[in-house]
Amino acid sequence: MSTAVASPRENRAPGFWGSTNGRKAVMAVTGFILFLFVIGHLLGNLQVFDGPVRLNAYGRFLHNLGELLWIVRGILILCVVLHIWATFVLWRRNRDARPIGYQVKKSVASSYADRTMYWSGPIVLAFVIFHLLEFTSGTIHPESRFIPGDVYHNVVAGFSVWWVSAWYIFALILLGMHLRHGLWSMFQSLGLNHPRHTPVLKQAALWIAILITAGYISIPVSVLAGWVR
């Protein structure tokens, strides 16, 4: 009777990129970098409430960064790709671990944000692409004329179209849900999920996500309401 002998490749432990902990670390690090970008982008966008002079000056500042701006964009694109890759691989691993679905799917310890974590990411990515085509390149600017360099005009004109604002608000709600779960997962990855701190950290992740979402949504709402014109 012959005995199968495992090859050295089969016996070799997975490296950093192939391990679950490695993929979680990639997701956490890239997610944190993207979270910092979300905060910075929000602070820049909120200058719309200071009027056209302030917001357009912010736009010129970004434009004058030149090659540095493209380096930052490259890093962000790389983070997005790695974040999606790590998320997909972990999702596929979890799916393969349970090849037979549950007859009754119960969500006892899972919130709606948890269950939508995987599909909200691609939707937010699609929104970001649309957002860049509309407000950065002017390729898509429905029902209004795109004026290069006039950031204030482009923002107000773009959000004056109701369905553009509706799509923006919908995507930002998904982003908030994604952030809530992502921040909590990041806390767990950092080993901060002690029973004593868990309720506080969950509340912190929730309120950070709510504040960021409300900040972004306040812009199209103010344009539609006529408070920013």
Domain ranges of the chain: 20-94+115-225
pLDDT of residue 19: 75
Please state the pTM of the whole predicted model.
Answer: 0.77
pLDDT at 117 over 60: no
pLDDT of residue 72: 87
Non-local (6+) Cβ contacts of 60 within 8 A are 149
pLDDT of residue 108: 40
pLDDT of residue 110: 47
Would you say 24 and 84 are in contact if contact means Cβ atoms under 8 Å apart? Answer: no
pLDDT at 11 over 60: no
pLDDT 10s digits, 95-108: 676 655 544 444 44
pLDDT of residue 145: 78
Mean pLDDT for the stretch of residues 108-135: 62
Would you say 140 and 134 are in contact if contact means Cβ atoms under 8 Å apart? Answer: yes
Would you say 138 and 174 are in contact if contact means Cβ atoms under 8 Å apart? Answer: no
Mean pLDDT for the stretch of residues 162-173: 88
Rounded to whole angstroms, the Cα distance separating 192 from 118 reads 23
Mean pLDDT for the stretch of residues 133-139: 72
CA 140, 143, 145, 148 torsion-angle sign: negative
Rounded to whole angstroms, the Cα distance separating 99 from 6 reads 25
